[in-house]
């Protein structure tokens, strides 16, 4: 029996996909930290420091998706993968697709908010 099952608007990825999202979050965090250290080293102006938003957004999306057990892209595309890696299936019900799309947009919003807050913190740090 699988550890995860597709639940419309709630869960559309299994263990392997969750691990992949965790890796994305770690990679995004690594690039965020290295970008922050670079900003500190070169005394980057505020306009350039806004660029940290992008690696922070990658980290945020990976983090929120892994915690939610829900893939933003799968939700928008009307697909899911709770089985082995690469075994993507289509969502057939229009109601289920609508629930998935709503959850995907919530994940995008949460990730944007998280990355925006972290970017604001970086901007007020004394460099």
Confidence of residue 86 (pLDDT cuts 50, 70, 90): confident
* Residue 35 exposed, middle or buried by CB count within 10 Å (0-12, 13-18, 19+): buried
Going by the DSSP 8-state scheme, the letter that residue 80 receives in this structure is: E
Among residues of the chain, what percentage have pLDDT more than 70?
97
pLDDT, tens only, 3-26: 789 999 999 999 999 999 999 999
Q: Hey, which residues does 90 pair with through a beta bridge? A: 79
Look up residue 3 and give its two tokens.
């550890």
Q: Which of 57, 65, 71 is nearest to 118 (CA)?
A: 57
pTM, rounded to two decimals: 0.91
CA distance 6 to 14: 8
- Over residues 77-81, mean pLDDT: 97
- Over residues 120-127, mean pLDDT: 86
pLDDT, tens only, 38-60: 988 898 888 899 999 999 999 99
Q: Which of 40, 66, 55 is nearest to 127 (CA)?
A: 40
Does the pLDDT of residue 1 top 70, yes or no? Answer: no
């Amino acid at each position: 029996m699988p550890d995860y099952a597709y639940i419309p608007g709630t869960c559309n990825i299994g263990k392997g996909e969750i691990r992949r999202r965790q890796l994305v979050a770690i990679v995004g965090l690594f690039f965020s930290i290295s970008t922050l250290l670079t900003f500190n080293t070169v005394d980057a102006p505020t306009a350039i420091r806004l660029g940290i938003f992008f690696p922070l957004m990658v980290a945020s999306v990976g983090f929120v998706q892994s915690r939610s057990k829900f893939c933003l892209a799968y939700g928008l595309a009307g697909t899911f993968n709770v089985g082995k890696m690469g075994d993507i299936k289509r969502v057939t019900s229009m109601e289920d697709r609508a629930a998935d799309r709503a959850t995907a947009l919530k994940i995008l919003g949460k990730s944007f908010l998280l990355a925006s807050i972290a970017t604001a913190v970086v901007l007020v740090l004394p460099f």
